Amino acid sequence: MKVLICGAGQVGFGIAERLSAEANEVSIIDNEQDLVQRVSDVLDVRGFVGHGSHPDILDQAGARDADMIIAVTLHDEVNMTICQVAHSLFDVPTKIARIRSQNYLEPHWANLFSRDHLPIDVIISPEIEVGDMVLRRLSQPGAFETISFGDGAITALGINCDEDCPVIDTPLRQLTELFPDLPAVVVAVVREDSLFIPSSEDPLLAGDDVYLIAQGDQVVRTLKIFGHDEKDVSRVVIAGGGNIGYYVAKRLESSHSNVRAKIIELDRNRAVQIAEQLNRTVVLNGTALDEEILREADIANVDTMVALTNDDQVNILSSVLAKRVGCERNLCLINNTGYMTIIRSLGIDTYVNPRLITVSRILQHVRRGRIKAVHSIHNGSGEIIEAEALETSPLVGAPLNELDMPNGVRIGAILREDEVIIPTGLTTIETNDRVVIFALADHVRHVEQMFRVSLEYF
């Protein structure tokens, strides 16, 4: 696939890194020469210095032959223009744009991005994507990762096994014997920063991060089996009243009437602005690094501190401080992936990374075959994928134990109409089943082939 990326910042770099590693032909454009040079030096991509909205630059970068253009510059209007130019002059088949301003995304303006106006096929809104991820984490406080598949019928969970976890040192086959009716499958484990698919004889150890795929209505029971019986969130303090913090607070007000939220915002004008737009949320003007402000927010009686400022260090330090003052749990936004290896040791319970979330959203449109959703885990070392099985798929028609499945792939659940099926070796996948599957990064291509659309289908 020939992909043209406009914007060589963190998100653009992350997308280029993933796509070039999978042998796609990638070109990247940015008007900052240093950013283009950095990407070109590190990755196997072609770099072009210039404005991605200029036709001559797009032409030089290969827009005439591109299968997809991804516009992730810092400016919404530039991203829109890039897609318009790519459509009008180069007829690029798939156009993806990052749109950050919520004003453009209001439902009554939805027709703006139709083919007859601003032809954008996929809109990525980092604020909404990150905000929704935060809300999912708040809804399942025992998990550090929560992803929905199959329209909510299936949930992927990331759970930490601490010293008190009742199933540590237990081989996975014994978990099946102990809980034969548990609709969940362990698909991956992170141990000492290494991601792998465990065998039935592998035990879970203290300190492991375990990824499970479970039936959506059995998530609470699954968490309890792994020793996580945290109470539901009822009081939240949000550090940072920017777009994401405001979005989370607004959604809590509209959809979670039992949750009481407070926002700590450093900028006084912004604090006044969002206070006027929120109904039940208390807005405090100050910094979450100030212990007195945290005490004013009654942090000692708060379930979760959510740090969503645009400064990673403020997010980390305010989360640590909140716990020291008495907050039960914390969640923070981290942009720099370099911090991810140390935050657990600092007492951070969970984090969200906008770049990884955005890359995951884009990957589902890059993946070949009938891929419906993609979520990247452990900094891109693996992916949880939802795909539809067509009649031409090699998975259809034979029991799973008779299929030639590679070691780097594990099927976690099957959605057949409204029924969730937790697979065994005797399970057979049928046409139109939606399959949730985990794959290590170097086996993703194999998964794409499993769900490919063959010519015979037409």
CATH of the domain at 156: 3.30.70.1450
Report how far apart the first and last C-alpha atoms of the chain are (Å, whole number). 22
Supply the pLDDT for residue 358: 85
The arithmetic mean of pLDDT across residues 176-194, rounded, is 88
Q: Are 109 and 167 contained in the same domain?
A: no
Supply the pLDDT for residue 244: 94
Supply the pLDDT for residue 262: 97
Range of the domain at 380: 357-457
Where does a domain end: 225, 247, 280?
Answer: 225
Locate all alpha helices (DSSP H) within 122-242, ordered by sequence: 126-139, 172-178, 219-225
pLDDT in tens, 159-169: 999 888 888 89
Using the CB atoms, write b or e for 180-208: b if 16+ within 10 Å. Answer: eebbbbbbbbbbeeebebbeeebebeeeb
φ, ψ dihedrals at 364, nearest 5°: -65, -20
Within 10 angstroms of residue 54's Cβ, the number of other Cβ atoms is 15
The arithmetic mean of pLDDT across residues 340-352, rounded, is 86
Instruction: Please check whether residue 25 lies inside any domain of the structure.
Output: yes
Q: Are 96 and 169 contained in the same domain?
A: no
Q: Are 410 and 365 contained in the same domain?
A: yes
Among 2-6, 97-101, 318-322, 410-414, which stretch is predicted with the lowest mean pLDDT? 97-101
Q: Are 258 and 201 contained in the same domain?
A: no
> 3-state DSSP call for residue 303?
coil
Number of domains making up the chain: 4
The arithmetic mean of pLDDT across residues 80-99, rounded, is 94
pTM metric for this prediction: 0.83
Supply the pLDDT for residue 369: 62
**Confidence bin at 188 (pLDDT 50/70/90):** very high
Locate all alpha helices (DSSP H) within 10-125, ordered by sequence: 10-21, 33-42, 55-60, 76-90
Supply the pLDDT for residue 21: 83
Q: Are 364 and 344 contained in the same domain?
A: no
Note the residue count of the chain: 458
**Confidence bin at 229 (pLDDT 50/70/90):** confident
CATH number of the structural domain spanning residue 307? 3.40.50.720
CB of 365 within 8 A of CB of 122? yes
pLDDT in tens, 429-454: 999 999 999 999 989 888 888 887 54
